[in-house]
Amino acid sequence: MVSDRLSATLAALADPTRRAILARLAKGQATVNEIAEPFEVSLPAISKHLKVLERCGLISRGREAQWRPCSLEAAPLREVADWVSHYRKFYEVSFDRLESYLNAVQSKPPKGRKNVHKSR
């Protein structure tokens, strides 16, 4: 069982169907039928995906008469973005070092070759 919210969110995001559902909900509320429309899976399968997303706080379900529209809840995504940002800094520094190295290597002539131009 996943014990912390970040782990639950990352586990939910690991599935491409759930990521597609979140992308749809980023455009606005939708019913289960509207969410299920583009997928070639059963409504019970979509409902299971929605339960996973709801348990980790990525979506909420409302009540409007007989409809239960789903909405995106972005707070857990902010937690993921904050966590990832620490690693982004690491990679930016690494890429900067790689760029410096490549610039240094490209500015030197290859070993064994002299940088002599023949004139005629």
The pLDDT assigned to 77 comes to 95
Q: Is residue 16 part of a domain?
A: yes
Tell me if 89 is assigned to some domain. Answer: no
- What number is the average pLDDT over the span 39-51? 95
d(CA 52, CA 17): 11
In a domain, 120, yes or no: no
Asked whether residue 67 is assigned to any structural domain, the reply reads yes
CA-based torsion, 43, 45, 48, 53: positive or negative? negative
In a domain, 10, yes or no: yes
56: phi then psi, degrees, rounded to nearest 5: -90, 5
Compute the distance between CA of residue 103 and CA of residue 97 in angstroms, rounded to an integer.
Answer: 10
Domain count along the chain = 1
Provide mean pLDDT across the span 69-94.
Answer: 91
Length of the chain: 120
Residue 50 lies in a domain: yes
- Structural domain that includes position 38: 5-75
Decide if 57 contacts 76 (C-beta within 8 A): yes
Look at residue 65 and tell me whether its pLDDT is greater than 80.
no
Residue 73: the pLDDT is 97
Q: What is the pLDDT of residue 1?
A: 40
* pLDDT for 94: 87
Q: CA dihedral in degrees (18, 24, 25, 26; nearest 10)?
A: 110
pLDDT in tens, 4-42: 999 999 999 999 999 999 999 999 999 999 999 999 999
Structural domain includes residue 113: no
Model confidence pLDDT, tens digit, residues 84-115? 998 888 888 888 889 989 999 888 876 766 65
Residue 99 lies in a domain: no
Nearest Cα neighbor of 31 from 77, 55, 62, 56 is 62
Task: Provide the pLDDT confidence category of residue 2 given band limits of 50, 70 and 90.
Answer: very low
* Domain CATH for 65: 1.10.10.10
Q: Give the DSSP per-residue string, 37-64.
A: TTSSS-HHHHHHHHHHHHHTTSEEE--B
